[in-house]
Amino acid sequence: MIVLPAVAPPLPRENKWKRDLTPADALRWLADGWHDFRVHMGASLAYGVLVFLVSLGIVGGLFAYGHDYILFPALAGFMVVGPILAVGLYEKSRRIMAGEPVSLLRMIFVRPASGPQILFTGLLLCLLMLTWMRAAIIVYALFFGVTPFPGLDHVAEMLFTTPTGWAMLVVGGAVGALFASFSFAISAFSIPMMLTERVDALTAMGSSFALVGSNLPVMLTWGAIVLALFLLSVATGLIGLIIVFPLLGHGTWHAYKAMKP
């Protein structure tokens, strides 16, 4: 007769995340991000310039190869992959809090605690961005069929002066909102988490999703701030990314730290 050893049931783990943050906290994150931006400002500005040059190169490539019809979905997709591009800014804020030296090289060559898992998350975000861009093309085809893209000079007239254009804006906006909400939820805290903790990609993204859902009012406020500043950067021909991207990156780090008691 085999006697199985008694196994005590696992005790519930103490919750280590906050779930009582208010919308006002989002403004505090932005202020803390501005503080980190001004500390060793040259490093953050250089990082912002790199992001601006890469973005400008991608936009220029779309026009050079005749793919300007996916410009707007590509700009929206930038917000999907933005968190993985900001990992160096998270590292700078982490170093400031820890009292460690800060430099642009240390921001570029980051060694996250999760190792390659953070790259896997970046790959998943890139795939999500490509899926969104394909969905945007399908939405356009559903409403306008095989009609060629009229070009940026006439796109406003096509969208805002025809019933079909308005219908496409409503449906496309709804589809885009679903993609944006999902990508924001899984990436808001997963990248900073993997920078400092040994955690796999799926666990980090699941935790991020749960944290966003548990702090919905403040996260909606933070998402609105991110969207407003990004649209401001687009209005300046992406030049605003030089300041806005580092500011939001540092602010996101403080949002992640605020979730811990």
Two tokens at 28?
Answer: 């505090």
Instruction: Give me the pLDDT at residue 261, please.
Output: 63
The total number of residues shown for the chain amounts to 261
pLDDT string in tens for the chain (261-residue length): 555 444 444 444 455 677 778 899 999 999 999 999 999 999 999 999 999 999 999 888 888 877 777 888 888 888 888 888 999 999 999 999 999 999 999 999 998 988 889 989 989 998 988 898 888 888 888 888 777 776 667 777 777 788 888 888 888 888 888 888 898 899 989 999 999 989 999 999 999 999 998 899 999 999 999 999 999 998 998 999 999 999 999 999 999 999 876
CA dist., res. 227 & res. 80, Å (int): 12
CA dist., res. 127 & res. 103, Å (int): 31
> Which of 208, 65, 230 has its CA nearest to residue 125?
208
φ/ψ of residue 239, rounded to 5: -65, -35
Instruction: Give me the pLDDT at residue 2, please.
Output: 55
pTM: 0.86
Number of neighbouring beta carbons within 10 Å of residue 87: 20
> Which of 69, 64, 56 has its CA nearest to residue 245?
56
> Which of 235, 245, 216 has its CA nearest to residue 26?
216
Two tokens at 156?
Answer: 């406003």
User: Sign (positive/negative) of CA torsion 224, 225, 226, 230?
Assistant: positive
Instruction: Give me the pLDDT at residue 13, please.
Output: 47
In the 3-class helix/strand/coil scheme, how is 138-154 assigned residue by residue? HHHHHHHCCCCCCCHHH
169: left (phi over 0), alpha (psi -120 to 50) or beta: alpha
> Which of 206, 207, 222, 220 has its CA nearest to residue 254?
222
